[in-house]
A and B are shown apart, each in its own frame.
Chain A
Amino acid sequence: MDALAVFPDPPPPELARTLDVAGYSWLSVSSPEDAAKNEPPGGWAGAVVVADADPDGAWALCRAMRKKDRNVTRLLVLVSGRQLGDLELRDELFDDFCLTPFHPSEVEARLRHLVWRQGTTDVRQDLVEYTGLVLNLDTYQASIDSRPIDLTYMEYELLKFLAQNPGKVFTRETLLSRVWGYEYYGGARTVDVHIRRLRAKLGEEHANLIQTVRSVGYRFGQSRWSSASPTS
C-alpha cells in the first residue's frame, strides 16, 4: 500500500505514533509543492492534514490535492474545537474530520474507513457505473437508478464481472470459470439461471443491459461495434 501524506512536517508526535501503530506507511509534507514532489508513483493512499497549528497551509494543501487529482485522494482533516466553523463552506476540501486533541483509535477508525481498500488509491476504481447501474466494489452494494438492489453473492459476482467488461461477449464456459470457479449447484446451466435472476432484479426497463448473444453467450451493455450507430 502506498504512503499517506501527512501535514505538517514534522507532524505532532502523537499522530506519528498513531499511524505507526496502525501500520500505515506515511510521509510528512510541508507544502503543496512538497506533496507533489514526493508523491509515490501510484499516488497518495490518502492524506491526514492537521489544521490546528497552520490552518492556511493546511487548507492550501487540501485545495491543491483536490485540484490535482479531482477528488481521488481521500482527505482526513484534524481541527480543534474552535475551528469547527472553518469547515463550513469547505465541504469539498475534505472527506472526514476529527477533533483535536484526538483519540488515537478514532483517527485510526476514520482512516481505515476512508482508505478501505488496500493497494489502491483510486476510489473511482471501486465504483463500476453503467447507465444507471452502480456497483460499489468496496461495500458490495448495487443500485439501479439510485434504488438499491439486493443480490445474492453469485448474482453480485456475475453482474460485477459483466459490468467491468461492457460490450464483450462471454461464453457460458468462460463465465463459469471466471465467476464461479468453485463448487456450485447446477452445472453449466447455472449461468443461464443466474442471468435470468439478474434480469428480473434489474427490472423491466434495465433487463436488456444483459443481452443474450445467440449460440454464443452473454454481453453486458452495448456492443462496442454498434455503439457507433446512434439508432442502436
Chain B
Amino acid sequence: MLKQQKDYVLHTVEERGVRLVRLWFTDVLGNLKSFAISPAELENALEDGMTFDGSAIDGYSRIQESDVLAMPDANTFEVLPFGDTMTPEARVFCNIHNLDGSPFDGDPRQVLKRNLQVAQQLGFDFYVAPDMEFFYFAPPVAGQPPQPLDAAGFFDLTTTDVAGTLRKQTIRTLETMSIPVEYSFHEDAPSQHEIDLRHTDAMTMADSIMTFRLIVKEVAAQQGVHATFMPKPLEGVQGSGMHMHLSLFRGDENAFYDEDDLYNLSPTAKAFMAGLLYHASEITAITNQTVNSYKRLVPGFEAPVHISWARNNRSGLIRVPIPKKANPTATRLEYRSPDPATNPYLAFSVLLAAGLRGIKEGYELPAEADANLFEMSDAELAKLGIAQLPQSLSDSLRVMEGSSLVFEALGEHIFEWFLRNKRSEWRAYKTHVSQFEHDRYLRSL
C-alpha cells in the first residue's frame, strides 16, 4: 500500500475525530459483514490486515483452517454520513486473504477481482450502471402482509412527503459516499422506487451497491420506514429488478460503439451480447438467487422471461438503448433479469465471464426479437429459437451445476458452497404448504 494513501487515511481519522472504523466485506450470499476496530488499531490493520475467524460467515467455512485475514482497501476509506456526528464512524472495504497472503477463494470481492483481471488482459475495463428498485413499507409485522406506505393508513397524511423526502435524503447521502445518482423516480407499483446509479468500473460499483443497500435501509429506518430489496414482495404488481447497463472500455474508447453499424454496435458488443444470451440460463442462479426471484420473472410485469435481445423491447432479456448521437461513450447493453437481492460481486463476475466467452469464441449474435414476446405462442417462439429463462431456483441450480463457465468464474469453493446452500433453501421452500394450496385444494379435493 502506498504510504501517502495510508497517511491520508490515518490523518482523516485523526482530524475528523473518527471513533470507530468498520471493516466491511461480503459473504457469498451478498450480505454485508462488518467488524469494528478502534482508530489505534487502524495503522496496524492497513499494514498487516486483521485476522478473524471466518467460520461464522456464510460461505467462508472450510474444514481445516478457519482463520482468514481482512486487508483494508485504503482507497475505499470513507467517513460514514450517518450515526452520531459527535462520534463519527468510517468504513473501509476489505479483501479477504488466507493467512499466507494468497487471495481467499470464498471472498466474492476476490472473485470479481480475478475476473476483472481476465478482462484487463484482453485490454478491457468493465463498466456497470445498475437501476436499483426497491419498496418502502411500514415496519413489518410477523404473519402480516407488507403494508405499502401509499396504502397504509399509518402514513396516510404524509404519504407523498415521506417517500419523497426519504428519496431525496437517500440521494444526498449516496452522493456524499461517492455514489453519484443519475435518475430517481417513483416506480409503477405502490411504494416502489427506483434510483439509477451512474456508471463506474465494476469493482467500485459492486462496493457501491453494498453501500447503497445499507444507506437506503438506514435512511428509511431513521423515519420508521422499512426498505426492502426483496424481488417480489407483493403479488399482482411489479417486482424489484436491478437492470444492469454493461459496457466495455478500451482505454478512453467505448469498445461497444461502432459508428458505421446499423445498431451502432461493434463486433465486440455483438459477440459479448451473444455470450450473455448463450450462457444466460447458466448464470441465472447467481443473478436471481432466491426462491422469490422467480416470482418476478413472469409475463406481464415488465420483467424478462425470454432469452432474446432487441433495441426497444422491454419484454426481452437484453435491451440495447439507443445512445444519443453525440455521446458514443453511452453505448451499452441493458441486462434485465437480475434483481437487487443478488450478490453484485458474483453477478458481475458471471456476466463478464459470459460476455467475454462470446468475444473469445466469436459467438454469432441471433436476430433481434422486436415483437412482443409475451403475446407469442410457444410454437412461434420455438420457431424463432427463443428459449425461456429458468422458471424456478431449482431449475436454475440444475443448469448452473452443469456449467463450466460458472465453475471457472466463481472458483470451486464458492461454486460448490452456493449450490449446496441454495439446494437446501429450495428444499425448505418445497416442504412449505402455502395459502395458495389451501385456497385452491382444501375444499375441492
Contact = CB atoms under 8 A, between A and B. Distances in A.
Q: Which 10 pairs show the lowest CB-CB distances between chains A and B?
A: A186-B201, A187-B125, A200-B175, A188-B252, A150-B79, A185-B201, A193-B200, A153-B8, A140-B11, A185-B203
Contacts of A156: 8
Nearest to A182: B2
Contacts of B116: 185
A187 B203 contact: no
Contact of B201 (A148, A152, A182, A189): A189
Interface of A: 139-141, 148-150, 152-156, 172-173, 182, 184-190, 193, 196-197, 200-201
Contact of B176 (A150, A182, A189, A190): A150
B74 interface: yes
A139 B7 CA distance: 9
A229 B128 CA distance: 42
Given A185-B203, A187-B125, A187-B201, A152 B75 contact: yes
8 contacts: A153-B8, A153-B75, A182-B2, A185-B203, A186-B203, A188-B251, A189-B201, A189-B329
B120 to A, nearest CB: 8
Interface string B17-55: 000000000000000000000000000000000000000
Contacts of A189: 125, 127, 201, 249, 252, 329
Contacts of B175: 200-201
A186 B12 contact: no
Given A140-B7, A187-B125, A196-B198, A155 B178 contact: yes
B98 to A, nearest CB: 21
A201 B125 contact: no
B233 to A, nearest CB: 30
Contacts of B198: 193, 196
Interface in B364-397: none
B285 interface: no
B174 to A, nearest CB: 9
A218 to B, nearest CB: 13
Contact of A197 (B7, B178, B201): B178
A182 B175 CA distance: 26
B433 to A, nearest CB: 48
B12 A141 contact: yes
Contact of B249 (A153, A173, A184, A187): A187
B65 to A, nearest CB: 29
A152 B200 CA distance: 15
Contacts of A148: 16
B212 interface: no
Contacts of B199: 193
B345 to A, nearest CB: 13
A130 to B, nearest CB: 20
A186 B204 contact: yes
A182 B200 CA distance: 18
A90 to B, nearest CB: 28
Given A153-B77, A187-B251, A141 B201 contact: no
Contact of B178 (A139, A141, A152, A184): A152
B38 to A, nearest CB: 20
A154 B180 contact: no
A140 B15 contact: yes
Contacts of A152: 75-78, 178
